Structure 1
C-alpha cells in the first residue's frame, strides 16, 4: 500500500513537468493568435514571451523563501493555485480583448510555474529508491518534451482559426464586422484555458490530499533574501570567470530558444506561404525534433566530448539560420526545424559548464544561471522590433547572434573533458 501511495505521488509530481512545459510551449501559438486578435505589431506580440520569462527571473528567490517557511508542498500548492487563476483569467481577457489583461494573466500563470519548477526537481529525486533518482528525474523531464509537442499540435488546432485577414480585407469591413471577427478570434482561447485551469486545480486537490516528504536540505544555498549578503555573494560569484561567461551564455541561449519558437508560425506564413494551422503542424515537428535531439545528443556524448558537441551544434545553428534568412519557400522552415534539433543539448551543457569548480558556491551559482532564463524575456522584443523595421526573415539574425555567443562559450571550454548533465529546460 505504501509503495502504491509513493507511485501515486511520483505520478502527481511528474505531471507538474508536463503542466509547465505545456503552458510555456503555447506561447508560439499565442503570439500569432494575439497579434491577430488584438491587432498588434511584432514587437507588441513578442511581449507574450516577456510576460512569461520575466516571472522566472523575479520569482525563484521569493518562492524559495516561501517554501522555507511553509514547506515545499505549500509552495507547490500555491504555484498550482496561481497557475490555475492565471488560466481562468484568459476568459475575461478574451471578452474585453485587452492585451495588457492577457499579459497579466500570463505573468500569473508563470509565477505559479516558477514555484513548481523550484520544487519539482528535488521532490522527484527523493520520492522512491535513491538508486533510481537519476532515472526518475530524466523520465519526468521527458514529459517536458511531450508537453511541447502536444501544446503546438493541440493549440494549433483549437486556438488558431486558420483565417488571417489582409489589410485590404480589414479595410473593406465595417467597424462592427471587424469587431465581431476580432472578438470571435479572441474567444478561441476561452475553452482551452478553462480546461487547463480545471485540470491544474484537480492536480492541486490531489496533491493536497497526498503525503509528500519534507526536504530540509534544499534551503541551503538560497539565503539571498538579505540585501547586503546578496550583493556581496553575487560580487564574489561573478569573480568566477567561467560562471560569469556561463550566465551570459545561458542568457543568450534561452533568448535564442524563445525567438526561434515564438516567431516560427509567423516565419512559416511569410516565407513559405503556409496558413497558420499548417505552420502549427510544422511547429509540432520542430518541437519533436528538439525532443529527438536531446535523446540523440545524450547518446552522442558517450563518444564525443560534450563541450566539442556544444561548439559544433552552436556554429551549425548559426549556419542554419543564415540559410533560413536568405532562402525562400519551405526549405528555410526545414532549416528552423533542424535548429530546434541542434539546440536541444545547449541548456544542460551550458549549465553544467557554468557551475564547474564552484564547490560550496555551487547552489548559489546555479541560481544565477537559472535566473539567466530572463533572456527569453529580452530577445523576442528585440527580434520583434527588427521584424517591424525590416521583415521576419531578417529578424532571425537575432537568434543567430545569440548562438554565436554559445559557440564562443564552448570554444572557451574545449579543454574540459567531463561534463555532468543534470539540469534540463
Structure 2
C-alpha cells in the first residue's frame, strides 16, 4: 500500500465510524418510547423504518455509483446522514423522529452499498480483507459508544441544552461533518466503471436459484436478530430485573462489544477451521443465547446470553455473503445487490417482535428471533466445507 493510499484510508475509516451511527436506533427507540409513552409495536417502528430503505435503495445505489462514482456516492450518504442527525436536535415529536430515522436508514443504505467498494480502490490485493475487517471494527466502536453517550446525556449534571439523551445526535453530527469534509478533500482515483448496474428484475430472477434464495433469507434472519437484540435486550433487563432504561442501556453496548470481538477473532478462526464448522459453532452459540433470553432471570445469565448472540451473530453475514457470491460467480454484482437488500430483515423482525412483546411480554420477541436462529440451523449444510 503506497503512502497516498495510506492517507486515503484515514477518511475512509472515519466514514466507517459514521456507518455505525445506524446502530444508535436500538437505544434511541427505547428512549423515544419512554419520552412519548409508546407501546412496543409503535416504538419498534423506528428500527423497522431504518432498515426498510435497504430494500428500496441498494440496487439503485449501484446504478448511481456507475454514474457519479463511489466517492461521490459515499459523500451523498454522509450528507443525508448528517441531516438525519440534525433533526432530533430541533425537537422530539413522533413525526420528526420518523423523518429522522427514515433519513438515517436511507443514508446508511447508500453508505453500506458504496463504502465497501470504495475501500477496494484505496486498499487492494492482500490488504483489502484486513482493511475491511478493520473498518468493521471502527464501525462497531460507534455502535457500542451510542448507548453510553445516550446514558451520559440522560443523567449528565453538566448542561445538555435540554437535549438529555438526544445529546448523542449533535456529537455524532460533528463527527459526520468531519468525515464528509475529510473525504471530500482527499483525492481518490477510481477505475473506470464497465457495464451498467443491475436492475431489479435482473436481481430478482436470481432468486430462482435455491442457494441465492436461501442465502437471501439467511441474511434477513441475521440482520433481524442483530437489530432485534439491539432493540430488545434492554427491554428484557427492564422487565426481568426491574432496571431503569439508563441502567439497562448497557445491554446494547455488551452486545456490540462481543460482536466486535467476534469480528476480529472470526477472521482468525476462519483461517484454521472449516467455514461450515465455524458457522455451526456460531449458530449453536446463538441457540444457547435464545434459551438464556427465554428463561434467564438473573443478571449473569442474561449478560451471558447477550454476549453469546453478539459473538455468534458476528460472522454470519460474511459467511453467507461469500457463499452466495461463490454460487453464481458470473453474477456477483446482482447477487451482492440482493444480499444488501436482505438487510430488509431489520425491518421485518422488529415489527413482528413488537406485536409479539405487546401480546405476551419480551419472551414473545425472543421467540421471533429464535425462529431466525432455527432457520440458520437449516443453512449449515449449504455452507461449503
Asked if Structure 1 and Structure 2 have the same fold, meaning a TM-score greater than 0.5 normalized by the shorter chain, the answer is yes
Q: 1:126 touches 1:133 (CA, 8 Å); kept in 2?
A: no
Calculate the aligned-residue CA RMSD, in Å: 2.4
Listed as ranges, the matches of 1:385-400 within 5 Å are 385-400=355-370
Following superposition of structure 1 onto structure 2, how do residues 14-93 of structure 1 map, counting pairs within 5 Å? 14-21=13-20, 23-93=21-91
CA–CA distance in 1 between the matches of 2:355 and 2:97?
20
Q: CA contact under 8 A between 2:288 and 2:308: conserved in structure 1?
A: no
Q: Distance in 2 between matches of 1:185 and 1:208?
A: 31
**Residue 314 of structure 2 is aligned to residue 374 of structure 1:** no
Does 1:223 pair with 2:222?
A: no
Larger Rg: 1
Residues paired across the two proteins, number = 381
Which 5+ residue runs of structure 2 have no aligned equivalent? none
- For residues 287-340 of structure 1, the C-alpha deviation after alignment (integer angstroms, 9 at most, x for no partner) is 111111222333233333211221232233223212321231212342122211
The 1:326–1:132 alpha-carbon spacing in structure 2 relative to 1, beyond 3 Å, is closer
Structure 1 unmatched ranges of 5 or more: 163-183, 225-229, 418-425
Alignment of 1:5-404 (within 5 A): 5-21=4-20, 23-94=21-92, 98-128=93-123, 130-158=125-153, 160-161=154-155, 187-217=163-193, 220=195, 222-224=197-199, 230-235=200-205, 237-330=206-299, 331-404=301-374
Give the distance between the partners of 2:234 and 2:330, measured in 1 at CA.
44
TM-score, with length taken from structure 2: 0.91
Q: 1:192 to 1:294 in 2, by over 3 A?
A: closer
Which one has a larger percent helix, Structure 1 or Structure 2? 2
The alignment partner of 1:356 has SS state of helix
Kept in 2, the 8 Å contact 1:243–1:354? The answer is: yes
TM-score by length of 1: 0.83
Q: Secondary structure at the match of 2:190?
A: coil
Alpha-carbon distance in 2 for matches of 1:134, 1:209: 25
Tell me the secondary structure at the aligned position of residue 84 of structure 1. Answer: helix
The answer (yes or no) to whether the contact 1:318–1:401 under 8 Å persists in 2 is: no
* Cα contact 1:83–1:200 (8 A) shared by 2: yes
